[in-house]
Structure 1
Amino acid sequence: MEIEKLLEELANAHGISGNEEGIRKIMEREIKPYVDTIEVDKMGNLIGTKKGTGPSIMLAAHMDEIGLMVKYVDENGFLRFVTIGGWFDQTLHSQRVMVHTNKGPIPGVIGSKPPHVMKDEDKKKPIKAEEMFVDVGAKDKEDAENLGIEVGTPISIDRNFVALQNGLYTSKAFDNRVGVAMVIDALKQISEMDIDATIYAVGTVQEEVGLKGARTSAFGLNPDIAIATDVTIPGDHPGIEKKDSALEVGKGPVITVVDGAGRGLMADKQVVKWLKETAQENDLPHQLDVGDGGTTDATAIHLTREGVPSSTISVAARYIHSPVEVISIDDLKASASLVAKAAKNVGKYF
């Protein structure tokens, strides 16, 4: 499948943290031709293994997206919710959502008190998520429950994959369906190469709520090296300066040196050297990142057991953790190529 079509299918699918089944099904289908074994561990991580005689490389892509979950249903049938993952509350207001009931998905909208009845001082304040609710059109609580809605029902944003200009695309959940697509496409390329490395292609769960699947899967696999695949923040649009992020959309894969100002990942120097020199040798555009914001699965992986040398290959994505994330498809293609070519020459470095 072409990477654009693959990313579209992944991004349009739904899978908030702890509810990654739909994404896992797509990933399993896509990697099956390129691995020797596939398993799902106790946490729900998908692990595809391509056996080799050389160093073992864990390629980790978290399958989950940020979302919401029903906290309770009020007497009038409106759904109160908690946020799952790191939302900026203002991006939630007035969004369409899908409520994933035990009888199938139901569309809804996020509402709140209209400004027409707010006091002047309230209009000046941002509306918090706890003041919002989901309206599915239910008549009352009983009607909502008859639709299959109950406490714990997951809710995801209802936004689709759309092409912008100049090879840019927008969607919800590019964080981290982009990383999943990167691993799948890299595996496809690796299958056409003569490589010695053992590859663990891992779709991890619950990254957005604590890097949980990465921690448990890495412990079980105990790889020699690890690369997390994800998205990261560029500084190429209004509202952010280059001193905050020197990265740009369209300028190639991002190799992490440090994230979270060192509180997250201090990437292994040999891994960074391996990835950087592989990009240079193959004329792949690339960027280096020292970030002071968020982190990735690599943070959990590199602290597993006695330690796993790790870094992250990311795609710069505008408006992360919103329903309208934006990436360059050329960045994604180059990132997948970097992963594959690094797997081919890993023996030179490890």
Structure 2
Amino acid sequence: MRILAVLAVLCVACPAAAAPHDRTERLLGELADAPGPSGYEEAVRRVMVRELTPLAEKITYDGVGSVIAQHGASGPKVMLDAHMDELGGMVRRVTPTGFLSMQMLGGWLDQALPDQRWIIIGRKGPVHAVTGIRDVHVVPADERTRVFSRDSLYLDVGARNAAEVAALGISPGDPVVPDSPFVALPGGRYLGKAWDDRVGCAVVIEALRRLRASGHPNQLYVAATVQEEIGLRGARTAADLIKPDIGIAIEGGIAGDSPGRSPEETQAVLGGGPGLFLYDSSTLPNRRFVTLVGDVAMAKDIPLQRDLVQGYGDDSAAIQATAGGVPTINLVVPARYTHAHNGIIDRADFDRTVDLVVALIQRLDAPTVARLRNFAPNR
């Protein structure tokens, strides 16, 4: 009994931590596991609509499938964006011997593709597949370190011929997604696919949940957009409908804390807090908005990682170029190994990003937004 009492006291005294399988963890796992390559976001859209509907005053859609949840009827129009699609592919052709070629969707590295498991979403349901790889016993020595082109890879579903592939309900155009189930790792870190940008999808849901309870001075439009990975398409069409005064994109960032990385690639680390992009290859953020984010983070004692990343694009670029020009920023939850089958995020980074987004939107009243949008020279 004495041991049990001591354990009970110790448990009460433990610092606050995410409870196993709490609501947020379950949401992150469901979003990560949902199949949703560009143009095939249906499963993710169902989750987003289910979660956003009780929090919003109105749910609408653009003409390509983005979800727009509105809360608040007065004040500046704030567009809070996260994209639903992930890297994936589609079946291109079926060979007579039952193999399938694949059209990649999004910015894959060729070295991330061989010997990986995939799921094909056919008309009869999901079908498991693998991208084959040549056996080391027959590969010549001078080819063993070579990266093979994606065009040389084929999906293997175990079929003997094209008729067996058809019997599985597979045909050209069917979507293909990584087969990489969500796993909660020790220390509050999560392993899964599609953190770019399912982690952003979870951020905007949790931010709206809190803003609905606490209030905010805006017309808030939470946009879960489509086809970001193939050209930022849904962000543009959603922004065309919203006509925002201000835009905030939430993304999966790029952590540079794994071995072999150069600090010039990225300096963000897991557990270091939310990130703010000062530059990427698609957009430059509004400088006053960048300053405001820093001020809010400091006031709320939220660590903020500022970064510049080349070879990266995000929805804020599309939002920025609509409605005559929109001040935008891109906030990120750092992630390791994006644009591959498996990535890792830190729960503390997620929670702090939600804290920052909520505090920032509460600051975006009409005078503040007017200052961000004012480019008249000082006299």
Please tell me the TM-score bracket, short chain as reference: over 0.9
Corresponding residue of 1:314: 332
1:174-213, aligned counterparts within 5 Å?
Answer: 174-213=195-234
CA–CA separation in structure 1 for the residues paired with 2:87 and 2:267: 26
Amino acid paired to 1:120: A
| Residue equivalent to 1:294 | 312
8 Å CA contact 1:270, 1:349 repeated in 2: no
Aligned residues: 347
Give the match's secondary structure for 2:115: coil
Secondary structure of the 1:187 match is helix
The separation in 1 between residues aligned to 2:332 and 2:208, in whole angstroms, is 16
TM-score (norm 1): 0.96
- Name which one, 1 or 2, has greater alpha-carbon Rg: 2
* SS of residue paired to 2:163: helix
Retained in 1: the 8 A contact 2:290–2:329?
A: yes
Identity rate of aligned residues, in percent?
Answer: 37
Q: 1:225 aligns with which of 230, 234, 246?
A: 246
Cα RMSD after superposing both structures: 1.3
Matched, 1:30 2:48: no
Q: Deviations over 1:74-109 (max 9, x none)?
A: 011111111110111111111111110011111111
Deviations 1:163-207 (A, max 9, x none): 223221111111110000000010011011122201111110000
Local SS of the residue matching 1:321: coil
Query: Which amino acid is the alignment partner of residue 59 of structure 2?
Result: I
CA distance in 1, matches of 2:212, 2:248: 18
Match for 1:51 among 41, 51, 72? 72
What's the secondary structure of 2:255's corresponding residue?
coil
CA contact (8 A) 1:274 1:349 kept: no
Query: Contact between 2:182 and 2:191, CA under 8 Å: does it hold in 1?
Result: yes
For 1:268, the equivalent position in structure 2 comes to 286
Partner amino acid, structure 2, of 1:221: I
Matched, 1:69 2:90: yes
Which stretch of structure 1 is more off in the superposition, 324-333 or 165-174?
165-174
1:203-242 deviations in whole A, cap 9, x for unaligned? Answer: 1000000111111111121100000000111221112122
Matched, 1:160 2:181: yes
2:192–2:342 CA contact under 8 A, matched in 1: yes
1:349 match: 368
**Once the 2 structures are TM-superposed, how far is the Cα of residue 147 of structure 1 from its aligned partner?**
1.4
Work out whether 1:284 is the aligned partner of 2:302. yes
TM-score w.r.t. length of structure 2? 0.89
Q: Which runs of 5+ in 2 are unaligned?
A: 1-21, 370-379
Helix, strand or coil at the partner of 2:293: helix
Distance 1:63 1:15 in 2: 7
The reply to whether residue 135 of structure 1 matches residue 153 of structure 2 is no
Match of 2:146 among 92, 100, 125: 125
Secondary structure at the aligned position of 1:192 is classed as helix
Q: Partners of 1:131 and 1:242 in 2: how far apart? A: 33
CA distance in 2, matches of 1:13, 1:204: 15
Higher deviation after alignment, 50-59 or 24-33: 50-59
Task: Give 2:271's aligned residue.
Answer: 250
Mean alpha-carbon deviation: is it higher for 143-152 or for 181-190?
Answer: 143-152
For residues 8-31 of structure 1, the C-alpha deviation after alignment (integer angstroms, 9 at most, x for no partner) is 000011100000010010011011
One-letter amino acid of the structure 1 residue matched with residue 273 of structure 2: G
CA drift of 1:116 comes to 2.4
Q: Does the aligned pair in 2 maintain the 1:189–1:337 contact within 8 Å?
A: no
Paired residue secondary structure (2:191):
strand
